Amino acid sequence: MASAVEIDAMRRALLLARRGPRGLNPQVGAVILSPAGDVLAEGFHRGAGTPHAEVDALSQLASGEARGSTAVVTLEPCNHTGRTGPCALALIEAGVARVVYALDDPTDAAAGGADRLRAAGVDVENGVEADAAAALVHDWVTLQRTGRPHVTVKWAQSLDGRAAAADGSSQWITGPDARRDVHARRAQADAIVAGTGTVRSDDPALTARSDDGSLLEHQPVPVIVGASETAPDAAVRRHPHAPLFYATHDLRAVLADLAGRGVQRVFVEGGPTVASAFLREGLADEVLVYVAPVLIGGSRLALGDIGVASIADARRLVVASIQNLGDDLVIVAHPADDRSAPAPLGADAAPDTRGDA
């Protein structure tokens, strides 16, 4: 059983892990404790090709200084050679006596580090702060399991399920609190997806902004999908990140390319056509719906055809949370066959009430 000192060290390792970039590799943190429980070194993974968290921490110690120590790591030490060597072997060679980790590595290539450590006589404890570690790397795990990023499909609607009025106007169905929440969630994504139709009609900036209109620190990469051309003076072309344009309707190909670029979390915010396409293809891991207590009527539905011909084909969801945002509601749900979805991300920023959502 992990000691209180080791649990505290794991919580510190989880904070360290968040310093690393999201990408093709998981965010991992490590803390090395002396036999007396003092912190000897800390480390985290700084990106593909760089030392893993355990080796990063060990590199700060003199030869022999780690002997008899405890390594506290957020993910099972790897057991394979890629751009770097096996972390399990590095810990063994450093003389680490005990390893405490949170999650088993889900990849076939890297798993087995715990068994290698035990075979070498190292005491191993796993499952410490596992829920927090799972939430941290959930999107990366989705990438390993499915070969594509985690996809959140978002839309805003009236109480009767409309996305716009008869004249096409939709700003604003929801109030400022809901729009603030949208911007905070954009800032937590790696990429934001819209269709060429939405870009042409609404000219969205696809940025994450604060209440005063300034850009939040993290910005998702804008992704535009569709065969139509985007105007040279479109707002999205002034985004801090160069937009990615995909002249295709093959969403799986788009997601595969984004995965190859290290994108882990995709936020789909492109209007009814794009939202319906992701749902129809079964590519939505999470649905985010903002509901305003207004009635609009008419034919401009928030969703179009999603491939449901009869009630037996209806896409069943599990509601993860329902939250009041001013006068509006935000509902977070995920497919009924995927109960591994993480807790919904909260709005921890104060974005611009003039958002594109």
Which positions are catalytic?
54
User: Whole-angstrom Cα distance, residue 126 to residue 75?
Assistant: 9
244 and 224 Cβ atoms separated by less than 8 Å: yes
Helix (H) or strand (E) holding 203: none
Helix (H) or strand (E) holding 130: helix 130-146
User: Among candidates 301, 265, 269, which has minimal Cα distance to 285?
Assistant: 265
User: Whole-angstrom Cα distance, residue 236 to residue 65?
Assistant: 52
Angstrom CA distances, 195 to 64, 183, 298, stand at: 57, 18, 23
113 and 105 Cβ atoms separated by less than 8 Å: yes
Residue 289: both structure tokens together: 């719906």
Percentages (nearest 5) of helix, strand, coil residues in the chain: 25, 25, 50
Contacts of 109 (CB under 8 A, 6+ apart): 80, 82
- Using CB atoms within 10 Å of the CB of residue 194, give its burial: 0 to 12 exposed, 13 to 18 middle, 19+ buried: buried
